[in-house]
Structure 1
Amino acid sequence: MAQRVMAAERLLDLVIALSHTPRWMTKRQIRERVNGYADAAGDDAFERMFERDKDLLREMGVPLLVEHDPAHEDDVGYRIDPEHYALPPVSFTAEEVGVLSLAAELWQDASLRSFAQRGITKLRAVGPSPEPGAHAGLALRVRGPEPAFAPLLEAIDARRAVVFTYRAASTGEVTRRTVQPWRILSRDRGWYLVGLDVDRHAPRAFRLSRISGKVRATGPAGAFTVPADVDVDELLVRARPASGAARLAVLPDRAAALRARATRATAADGDGQGPLTDRDVITVDYPDLELLSEEIATYADAVLVLDPPELREAVLRRLRAVAALDGEVAAHA
């Protein structure tokens, strides 16, 4: 038995057929050639179906034209006027192309970045080149989903439990967690998993940036039911990251992104925190200690953390991990 064609698919096929017909199409031709109209049980059913589709296309602004054969006035046909249906050409100035190019640099996530770059490549192929140096010194970044996002989403869809290693926000303790994943939310510029902590027998929220290593699904599919009465806001309050203000010692002309967010900048005061000669001391407010530590670690020795101690330790933890990885690579070279 043939599968019934959905109304949306039938409408799309009708638009394509009427847009590309060399002359026009009669009702009989439409019924025979356009996918979906063969589902009509009879002539009356086809008439009702086609009339509904015509009305819907016109409501959507599609310029559907009715044509008559001058020799046979009873011979009626339909077509879509391509001149009135086609979109006008799109053009951009060099300044606009430059802004769009800058916007395409936002995404750090590999898949999203590739889509943006392909779009910019096509735009530059048919438009003017951006003004060189118009946005010199500007670099925009938006974090994409964490690596744990995709496997957690698959587990939520399959209703399967997951196992992962998690670093607690309050203590920094790293433990193995088994969770029944319920949903993923975006709050406070971060991604959170809400689910049942199996070992603690209680609902919990987990920030995805604190999940280390791979997320592994375990157990059968359809193993649990997501409750409808979960107080998500209360769970997120417990999982929200530590925030505060950081004092940083920065080398001249380095860490422009941190300097731009600084609420205060002073000369180095040599307060026993190490060699601060020729460094500027800036204060930067942060909503998430872990995200800031990740950013600071990319500057290596160009940025030293003076306060708070937990931020300094988080940066050192990342730098030690990189050093250990570099040592392993060198050993196997």
Structure 2
Amino acid sequence: MVDRLERLVNLVIALRETRRPLTVEQINSRVAGYGGERDEAWRRMFERDKADLRDLGVPVRTEKVDRFDETLGYRIEPDDYDLPSVSLTPSELTALALSVQLTGLADDAAPALDKLAVDAGVPGEQRAVRRLPLELGLDAPHRAALTEALVERRPVTFGYRKAAGADDSEERRRVEPHALLHWRGRWYLRGHDVDRGADRTFRLDRITDRVRPAGEPGTVVIPDQPPDPVEVVPGASRDAVEAVVRADEETAWAVARRARGSSQPAGEEADGWREFVVRTADPDELIGWLVELGPGVELVGPPALRARLVAHLRAVLDPAAGTTT
């Protein structure tokens, strides 16, 4: 499979870079992966490769080699195949940078992100800030193993420590996983506890040993409706917090769009900045959203929420300084 994939990539490169259509003989001798053999098996292989590329949307053209020669050849017109120039807004660039960070490839992707940032007109000092770690809390213990179990729809077993204040004992749990949930900095597993015959929610940081398979793949039935963290995470609440957020002209639309009835403009100032009242049931999520929007927003209040935002930004800019304000 790898050899075939490499052969297809080599064929695309050869057809895209040529100025004149390549005949089958030229393709046979020039494209790595065909081996120079000119038997019927090679011709069938080339026809399959050509058909596969077209099925994938690659515009392989069949043309005369030149106007004086009836021989047919193949090429890919760059204008038909190449992507147009990518132009991202600062908000789109920020979202892309955050997504890249979550893959763990931020360092490898840094040159490409910088080029996109230059094209978007982002100043150099701001381009560096966009690659700061934002502490999104995605590296929870056992998350990879549980994600694999969810994909395979396979039951799992693990040791689990009860909540502090109960008896702090550990028990073996057999669970049919239904969903992984993130709520206010913690990860939870929601699933059906086989031994108790009921749905339960488990904090990932209380799992005490390796998550192991406890059944065959495809045996877990996952509900169609994903669970609401507020309904299944112990202690979760939808008590709303009203935050006063100022936004500049370029960012105000994002603040207003997020609202959809839960925010209201509180006024417009002479400098073009607008002030909104944003209601949220998850202050940490609101802080993450404000960080994504960047310097075009300011959290005015309440003071406790503003202090949490300041502490978060200080921790990001200087992890050694901790999270005190």
The alignment's TM-score, normalised by the length of structure 1, stands at: 0.49
1:147-296 aligned within 5 A: 147-148=140-141, 149-153=143-147, 161-165=157-161, 167=163, 176-180=170-174, 182-183=176-177, 185=179, 192-195=188-191, 197=193, 200-202=195-197, 204-206=199-201, 210-212=203-205, 216-217=209-210, 223-226=214-217, 228=219, 230=221, 232=223, 236=227, 239-241=232-234, 242-245=236-239, 286=281
1:95-106 aligned within 5 A: 96=89, 98-103=90-95
| Corresponding residue of 2:304 | 303
Equivalent in 69, 75, 80 of residue 76 of structure 2: 80
1:117-128 aligned within 5 A: 120-128=113-121
Asked if structure 2 preserves the Cα contact closer than 8 Å seen for 1:13 and 1:35, the reply is yes
Aligned pair in 2 of structure 1 residues 172, 285: CA closer, same or farther (>3 Å)? farther
* Number of matched pairs: 252
Matches of 1:218 and 1:83, distance apart in 2: 51
Asked if structure 2 preserves the Cα contact closer than 8 Å seen for 1:107 and 1:113, the reply is no
Offset at residue 121 of structure 1 (A): 2.0
Aligned pair in 2 of structure 1 residues 119, 183: CA closer, same or farther (>3 Å)? farther
Aligned pair in 2 of structure 1 residues 155, 178: CA closer, same or farther (>3 Å)? farther
Aligned pair in 2 of structure 1 residues 228, 283: CA closer, same or farther (>3 Å)? same
Q: CA RMSD in A?
A: 5.7
The Cα offsets for residues 58-112 of structure 1, whole Å up to 9 and x where unpaired, read as 56251524242677x36543332334433333345xxx2x323543576697656
Percent identical among aligned pairs is 28
Offset at residue 15 of structure 1 (A): 0.8
Asked if structure 1 preserves the Cα contact closer than 8 Å seen for 2:21 and 2:65, the reply is no
Residue 193 of structure 1 aligns to a residue in which SS? strand
Aligned pair in 2 of structure 1 residues 30, 196: CA closer, same or farther (>3 Å)? same
| Corresponding residue of 1:26 | 23
Matches of 1:244 and 1:194, distance apart in 2: 19
Offset at residue 113 of structure 1 (A): 8.8
Write the letter of the residue equivalent to 2:189: L
Aligned pair in 2 of structure 1 residues 49, 164: CA closer, same or farther (>3 Å)? same
Residue 210 of structure 2 aligns to a residue in which SS? strand
Aligned pair in 2 of structure 1 residues 118, 154: CA closer, same or farther (>3 Å)? farther
1:62 is the counterpart of 2:54: no
Write the letter of the residue equivalent to 2:144: A
Asked if structure 2 preserves the Cα contact closer than 8 Å seen for 1:178 and 1:197, the reply is no
Asked if structure 2 preserves the Cα contact closer than 8 Å seen for 1:68 and 1:75, the reply is yes
Unaligned runs of 5+ in 2: 127-133, 247-254, 264-276, 287-301, 306-321
Asked if structure 2 preserves the Cα contact closer than 8 Å seen for 1:63 and 1:80, the reply is yes
Residue 74 of structure 2 aligns to a residue in which SS? strand
Unaligned runs of 5+ in 1: 134-140, 264-281, 293-300, 305-328
| Corresponding residue of 1:114 | 106
The alignment's TM-score, normalised by the length of structure 2, stands at: 0.50
Asked if structure 1 preserves the Cα contact closer than 8 Å seen for 2:178 and 2:222, the reply is no
Write the letter of the residue equivalent to 1:176: E
Aligned pair in 2 of structure 1 residues 31, 160: CA closer, same or farther (>3 Å)? farther
